[in-house]
């Protein structure tokens, strides 16, 4: 299949399915470095880590909040969680950058970001030199996540051009936001990176649908976390053994026709390594381009507001 002269045809990618111990910042950074080196040694040029890989996903925690009430124990748990988050810039962030530069890969990693007094669920894209080239905050935290994470805004709804292809990031249930997907399609996403903690079987169907709809490669990285990855005093409704899965994986890689190239893998940590043939993209656009020849802009259009809203606005003196 003919491709343009400037298009890299085959790209080796790796999807990480693992989890760091909750509240242990140093341990999480150490695991990130180990797994990134393993992916690099497997020849990966792009490595995708799960949602909240650094900072952790507090599965099952209520943080002592009910309607109209909060508990001191819940606030104490949130304090532990907040202290394990990543500041950008900051010491932990610099360690991530150094690890990426040492590996020489493009890297997408999910982090819990601390900015001011608010936490955000963010996805970061680094180039081979460890430079941050993409920084996306989850637009709509799901369910009780809204208690602990703030909302992102329109300033980072972006597809980033790289020498491996045009990369977009959608965190977990952002993939269920049709207009967010449309914004990435409109910007020409070729490699759709979906860090997640959704371990349901149906997630795979979602990833396959998006690959077909967007005519793009989809890389979904999920955590595999057990009870042993959480502190012994972590509050759960029922006691379970250390090997009990808290987040059961399901990572996968899909081509633009919805065919699975790797995974899904459940029930164990895994490093999925496979090759993307970017030559498939040109032929894939023959019959479907949802923001081009297969669209009806005379009837349906997407309005994207890139300017972020401000929490505090200073108005000029009208006097």
- Residues annotated as catalytic (active site), given as ranges: 51, 138, 172
Contacts for 152-155: CB closer than 8 Å, 24+ residues apart: 152/120, 152/122, 153/308, 153/309, 154/304, 154/305, 154/306, 154/307, 154/308, 155/306, 155/307, 155/308
Hey, what are 42's tokens? 């497997």
Hey, what are 143's tokens? 């369910």
What is the secondary structure of 298-315 as a DSSP string? Answer: TT-------SPP-SS-PP
Q: Determine the 3-state secondary structure of 186 from DSSP.
A: helix
Question: Residue 104: what are its φ and ψ, rounded to 5°?
Answer: 70, 30
Judge if the upstream peptide bond of residue 264 is cis by omega within 30 degrees of 0: yes
């Amino acid at each position: 299949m003919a491709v343009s002269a400037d298009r890299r045809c085959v790209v080796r990618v790796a999807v990480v399915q693992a989890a760091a111990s909750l509240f242990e910042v140093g341990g999480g950074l150490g695991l990130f470095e180990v797994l990134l080196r393993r992916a690099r040694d497997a020849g990966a040029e792009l490595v995708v880590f799960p949602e909240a890989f650094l900072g952790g996903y507090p599965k099952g925690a209520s943080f002592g909040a009910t309607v109209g009430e909060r508990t001191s124990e819940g606030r104490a748990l949130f304090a532990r969680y907040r202290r394990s988050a990543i500041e950008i810039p900051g010491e932990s962030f610099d360690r991530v950058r150094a690890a990426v530069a040492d590996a020489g890969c493009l890297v997408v990693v999910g982090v819990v970001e601390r900015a001011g007094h608010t936490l955000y669920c963010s996805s970061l894209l680094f180039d081979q030199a460890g430079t941050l080239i993409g920084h996306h905050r989850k637009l709509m935290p799901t369910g009780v996540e809204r208690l602990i994470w703030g909302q992102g805004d329109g300033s980072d709804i972006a597809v980033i051009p790289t020498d491996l292809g045009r990369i977009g990031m959608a965190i977990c249930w952002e993939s269920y936001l049709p207009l967010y997907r449309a914004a990435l399609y409109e910007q020409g996403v070729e490699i759709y990176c979906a860090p997640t903690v959704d371990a349901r079987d149906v997630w795979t169907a979602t990833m396959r649908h998006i690959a077909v709809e967007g005519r793009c490669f989809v890389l979904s990285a999920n955590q595999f976390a057990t009870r042993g990855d959480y502190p012994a005093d972590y509050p759960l409704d029922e006691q379970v053994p250390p090997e009990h899965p808290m987040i059961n994986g399901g990572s996968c890689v899909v081509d633009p026709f919805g065919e699975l190239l790797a995974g899904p893998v459940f029930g164990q940590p895994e490093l999925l390594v496979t090759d993307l043939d970017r030559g498939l993209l040109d032929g894939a656009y023959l019959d479907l381009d949802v923001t081009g020849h297969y669209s009806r802009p005379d009837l349906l259009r997407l309005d994207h507001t890139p300017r972020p809203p401000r929490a505090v606005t200073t108005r000029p003196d009208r006097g």
